[in-house]
Structure 1
């Protein structure tokens, strides 16, 4: 398995510079409707960064080079000016609750990504997190590229250095949950995926025909679930990765990372065979805060266990696709 992952790493890894924009635009034109591209930014209280990301994508990939057809910001319940800033910068803003109203929305990133497929029209869907700083449009064009030039690739992950602070450097310094949880899980249980540099990264692109066949964990487990499920459904060669440089963004505190790790472990557990008689791990995590009265006070947090079904099983989605 290690040899397979190593061979895949050399064969299915590229840099954004390997495919100039002119080549991508030509490939898109040749692909016709199958080459339509939607960029989706899931956003929750990202007014400080979402505007610059939208402006950069519109300038570089919609005006200067006609690569992206649609730019959506999916607002998952922001209480700040995220929606206003995104709209002013030129994005189409859709609120999570406007989509499939018969099904009450749940909190979580995976929920927003799942619902975004109702709103997006492209056959290639590119997800970009809305908290990125010093954003470069290569984060989007780089991962869109292989889907336009390699017919057998279905999912493309961005890879990058992820410094923890302004002065830090190194690919793994800012990816603490990746290095402590996701990478060990993949190496132990899905060693074919050991060559994926940023398995939890929020920047990835995929064919709609793949995404609509996958279940979506509603919370932080969505990226791990997408990666593992794509491997099971399509095989390792359907996955690729592109080096886009350096990713700078807001970092969370240790307790938030602990809750994220618990969700990722739960997603992995649900995809592993459970021996007979083994009781599933409880869907929660207990953390501790120093109490004003002295000692430590426990705080219990639930861990997301809900997964949205593949969209090909949702009547409203299929009806909309037939109408389109």
Structure 2
């Protein structure tokens, strides 16, 4: 069997609530955030009102603030989230910058059996994202990880999967991990996973966390352990093209490491050229955290 696909409204909210109660599962929504004061408040407040106060589907909303220098922490807290600074979670384990680090650290401050991840920079979305992602986990015990996909509206028509997705992730999947070829948006930030499963995975500290989790899940449990759900429409802030170089470097490093390439350093020096022969250099961390279960 391969990766299954579904639509967010294939499950009723009442059915999910019943399954959650029968299975005795707790649900954590985790929002990793860095300098997202403009949007994180709406993400938190809308989910809290719809899925915690109106119905009891989500048990906690936790924002992991990844070294923000704006008001992300205060805005998220005011909106009703429990907020933790990533660097202050388990300081005995050290701290690294990055989205994956924030998600790995979330396992030490959350209690949910099922963990839903959502990006903090969303606009043009709705709260059905959360029950949609929980549907496969609450209805099929064989599913370990659920990936969201969606239409991405653009000024000149629908956008494709994203620049790093189309130019980096899809080619890597085609060449190295063809069993993941059915995934519509492998790098989507909206996904859900069983806590016990995620705690057993090695987690890149940066932007490679999504691809790494997919590859490792497919290898350990087969592609049928992955489901994807059509969430409808999603829009978010776009990064400048040059800023995507570090993200691409991290994704390639995780893919190479999982393809048997030895001797990779835990950081890479990315040289980019604005003009002439004078490079702008960026040190891109490519290290990974070991499975969190060893420290829980």
CA contact 1:133–1:248 (8 Å) conserved in 2: yes
Shift of 1:280: 5.0
Q: Which residue does the alignment assign to 1:106?
A: 96
Say which of 284, 307, 312 aligns to 2:269: 284
* Alignment partner of 1:215 is 2:202: yes
3-state SS, counterpart of residue 147 of structure 2: strand
Measured in 2, the distance between the counterparts of 1:234 and 1:149 equals 17
| 1:212-260 Cα distance to aligned partner (Å, 9 max, x none) | 1001100111111111011111111110000001110000111111221
Say which of 158, 167, 174 aligns to 1:169: 158
Say which of 251, 255, 267 aligns to 2:238: 251
| 1:243-296 Cα distance to aligned partner (Å, 9 max, x none) | 00111000011111122111111110111123xxx8758823210123xxxx34
**TM-score, reference length from structure 1:** 0.87
Shift of 1:77: 1.3
Whichever of the two has the greater Rg, that structure is: 1
Measured in 1, the distance between the counterparts of 2:125 and 2:277 equals 41
Say which of 273, 290, 296 aligns to 1:309: 290
* Alignment partner of 1:97 is 2:82: no
Q: Which residue does the alignment assign to 2:223?
A: 236
Give the 3 Å change call, closer, same or farther, for CA 23–171 of structure 1 in structure 2: farther
Superposition misfits of 4+ residues, deviation over 4 angstroms: 278-282
CA contact 1:56–1:135 (8 Å) conserved in 2: no
Measured in 2, the distance between the counterparts of 1:153 and 1:201 equals 18
Unaligned runs of 5+ in 2: none
Say which of 54, 66, 69 aligns to 2:56: 66
CA contact 2:87–2:96 (8 Å) conserved in 1: no
Root mean square deviation, CA, Å: 1.6
* Alignment partner of 1:134 is 2:135: no
Report the count of equivalent residues. 295
**TM-score, reference length from structure 2:** 0.95
* Deviates most, 94-103 or 22-31: 94-103
Unaligned runs of 5+ in 1: 318-324
CA contact 1:160–1:171 (8 Å) conserved in 2: no
